[in-house]
């Protein structure tokens, strides 16, 4: 890269801000001074769905450590809660997974939750953007309409954006960090195809501190869905409210409301609860086609992500791989194909296949409550009687929830004969219990 290259980043979500941060730090180390400009139309400090990047906001311990090592200092307002474990619920059982001593899990909010809580400003995306600005990036609050690729290699790429109307910005390199919820994705670059997506449901419910303290504690609660419309549902406690996330191919509000009336979920909400805001964000379930061109690269969700997990961490890695390619090899189409996209695929594509198998088990548990209960009983037994290193069911669930280990390694743990022996034993006991109580009743 030449010393004062003009770099335009489209999108100030995690991928865009991480990219600006890593590029500026690494460039300075090499005596390069690129001019980095980030575009986004959102105001992360103003309440409302339009200004929020829609996510459950759980940060894995690994990512928190990595960001702190990179110089990010999380202020009190940004960290909503410190999570100390998970509670997994089948329809009539539950088991608690306590935090491992070395694990640190934070919850954050991507925008500002509610207008009446603006004194609680602490948007995670604003925090990342401020960090990039402090490193030297420029920020233009404007939506990008499209890019015009130059006819000859020496000319700049023209970025058409809206504020002020019909403005044009010139750059030598363009980074698309616009996620999968943007109309821009469809016409960004010739040959580029946005990943396939599912549409989740995300809702914020004001429940108050008392209910959070008495019901949730500092645990995320995970509930089984029906296996088709809703795969699973998570209630994540924040400071004053709870974030509800329902994952499935196309989750509807009515399905979520029905699931929340059931006896296992209902006690977690006040009687007169309502969604203070809700949305149907898309998230990727495959990788993009050709997320690069000459002097153009696409990162974050718009390129590839870990299957149903840790999208913010994937944003970090794709940003890192893009910077490494630009600084170590160059930014031609061939460089991005050979180095950037290959690194992304090596990290995620194969592992995501194991992820799909593991989440297939979740579907099985949704359909066969006997198996789900047996699994929960196995976790409870381990928590009560086994040494931590022998708690195989708990370990598998912990790794799936936190994303601390690759899906391939989790899958390997699932193959351990002792795990199957315990599942078999607990399934037999569950069957016996049901026979004794009259079939069908737990």
Ligand X SMILES: Cc1cc2nc3c(=O)[nH]c(=O)nc-3n(C[C@H](O)[C@H](O)[C@H](O)COP(=O)(O)OP(=O)(O)OC[C@H]3O[C@@H](n4cnc5c(N)ncnc54)[C@H](O)[C@@H]3O)c2cc1C
Task: Report the interface residues with ligand X, using CB under 6 A.
Answer: 10-16, 39-42, 53-58, 143-144, 177-179, 181-182, 184, 200, 202, 245, 281, 283, 300-302, 305, 310-313, 315
What number of CA atoms fall less than 13 Å from residue 85's CA on the CB side? 14
When the beta carbons of 52 and 396 are compared against ligand X, the nearer one is: 52
CB of residue 33 to ligand X, shortest distance in Å? 24
Q: How far, in Å, CA of 322 to CA of 22, rounded?
A: 10
CB of residue 300 to ligand X, shortest distance in Å? 2
When the beta carbons of 308 and 419 are compared against ligand X, the nearer one is: 308
CB of residue 34 to ligand X, shortest distance in Å? 19
When the beta carbons of 39 and 411 are compared against ligand X, the nearer one is: 39
The answer to whether the CB of 45 falls within 8 A of the CB of 156 is no
When the beta carbons of 41 and 383 are compared against ligand X, the nearer one is: 41
What number of CA atoms fall less than 13 Å from residue 346's CA on the CB side? 9
Q: How far, in Å, CA of 128 to CA of 212, rounded?
A: 27
- The DSSP secondary structure of 369-401, one letter per residue, reads HHHHHHHHHHHHHHHHHS-GGG-HHHHHHHHHH
When the beta carbons of 10 and 207 are compared against ligand X, the nearer one is: 10
Q: How far, in Å, CA of 206 to CA of 309, rounded?
A: 25
When the beta carbons of 85 and 380 are compared against ligand X, the nearer one is: 85
When the beta carbons of 141 and 416 are compared against ligand X, the nearer one is: 141
CA atoms 41, 64, 376, 424: torsion sign: positive
Residue identified by tokens 């989790």 is 410
Mapped onto helix, strand or coil, the DSSP state of residue 60 is: coil
The answer to whether the CB of 87 falls within 8 A of the CB of 96 is yes
Q: Is the peptide bond before 50 cis (omega within 30 degrees of 0)?
A: no
Cβ–Cβ contacts within 10 Å for residue 385, how many?
A: 9
CB of residue 388 to ligand X, shortest distance in Å? 25
Residue identified by tokens 């941060």 is 21
CB of residue 195 to ligand X, shortest distance in Å? 11
When the beta carbons of 55 and 326 are compared against ligand X, the nearer one is: 55
Mapped onto helix, strand or coil, the DSSP state of residue 199 is: strand
State the angle between helix axes of 407-414 and 392-402 in degrees (0 to 180), rounded to the nearest 10.
Answer: 160
When the beta carbons of 196 and 420 are compared against ligand X, the nearer one is: 196
The answer to whether the CB of 21 falls within 8 A of the CB of 188 is no
CB of residue 247 to ligand X, shortest distance in Å? 7
CB of residue 205 to ligand X, shortest distance in Å? 15
CB of residue 182 to ligand X, shortest distance in Å? 3
Residue identified by tokens 């961490």 is 313
When the beta carbons of 310 and 427 are compared against ligand X, the nearer one is: 310
Q: How far, in Å, CA of 287 to CA of 300, rounded?
A: 10
CB of residue 274 to ligand X, shortest distance in Å? 19
- The DSSP secondary structure of 311-342, one letter per residue, reads HHHHHHHHHHHHHHHHHHT-SSHHHIIIIIIH
Q: How far, in Å, CA of 105 to CA of 89, rounded?
A: 20
CB of residue 401 to ligand X, shortest distance in Å? 10
Q: How far, in Å, CA of 44 to CA of 12, rounded?
A: 10
Q: How far, in Å, CA of 4 to CA of 240, rounded?
A: 46
Query: Which single residue brings its beta carbon nearest to ligand X?
Result: 311
When the beta carbons of 41 and 332 are compared against ligand X, the nearer one is: 41
């Amino acid at each position: 890269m030449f010393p004062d290259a003009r770099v335009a980043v489209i999108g100030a979500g995690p991928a865009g801000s991480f990219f600006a941060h890593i590029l500026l730090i690494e460039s300075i180390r090499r005596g390069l001074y690129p001019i980095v400009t980030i575009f986004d139309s959102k105001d992360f400090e103003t309440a409302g769905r339009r200004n929020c990047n829609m996510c459950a906001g759980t940060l894995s311990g690994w990512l928190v450590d990595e960001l702190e090592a990179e110089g990010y200092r999380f202020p009190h307002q940004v960290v909503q809660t410190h999570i100390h474990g998970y509670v997994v619920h089948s329809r009539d059982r539950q088991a608690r997974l306590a935090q491992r001593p070395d694990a640190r899990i934070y919850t954050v909010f991507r925008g500002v939750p509610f207008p009446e809580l603006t004194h609680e400003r602490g948007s995670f995306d604003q925090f990342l953007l401020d960090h990039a600005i402090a490193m030297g990036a420029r920020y233009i609050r404007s939506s990008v309409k499209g890019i015009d690729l130059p006819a000859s290699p020496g000319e700049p790429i023209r970025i058409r954006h809206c504020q002020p109307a019909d403005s044009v910005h010139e750059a030598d390199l363009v980074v698309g960090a616009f996620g999968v919820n943007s109309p821009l994705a469809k016409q960004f670059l010739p040959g580029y195809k946005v990943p396939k997506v599912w549409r989740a449901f995300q809702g914020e419910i004001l429940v108050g501190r008392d209910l959070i303290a008495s019901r949730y504690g500092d645990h995320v609660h995970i509930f089984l869905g029906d296996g088709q419309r809703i795969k699973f549902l998570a209630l994540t406690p924040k400071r004053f409210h709870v974030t509800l996330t329902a994952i499935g191919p196309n989750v509807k509000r009515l399905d979520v409301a029905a699931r929340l009336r059931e006896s296992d979920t209902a006690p977690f909400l006040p009687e007169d609860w309502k969604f203070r805001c809700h949305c149907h964000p898309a998230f990727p379930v495959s990788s993009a086609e050709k997320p690069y061109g000459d002097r153009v690269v696409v990162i974050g969700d718009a390129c590839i992500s870990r299957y149903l997990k840790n999208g913010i961490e994937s944003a970090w890695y794709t940003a890192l791989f893009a910077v490494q390619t630009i600084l170590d090899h160059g930014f031609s189409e061939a460089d991005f194909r050979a180095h950037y996209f290959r690194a992304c695929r090596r990290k995620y594509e194969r592992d995501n296949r194991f992820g799909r198998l593991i989440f297939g088990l979740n579907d099985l548990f949704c359909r066969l409550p006997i198996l789900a209960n047996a699994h929960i009983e196995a976790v409870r037994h381990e928590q009560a009687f086994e040494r931590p290193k022998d708690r195989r069911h708990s370990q598998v669930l912990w790794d799936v929830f936190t994303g601390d280990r690759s899906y391939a390694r989790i899958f390997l743990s699932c193959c351990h004969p002792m795990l199957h022996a315990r599942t078999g034993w607990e399934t037999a006991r569950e069957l016996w219990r049901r026979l004794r109580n009259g079939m069908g009743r737990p």
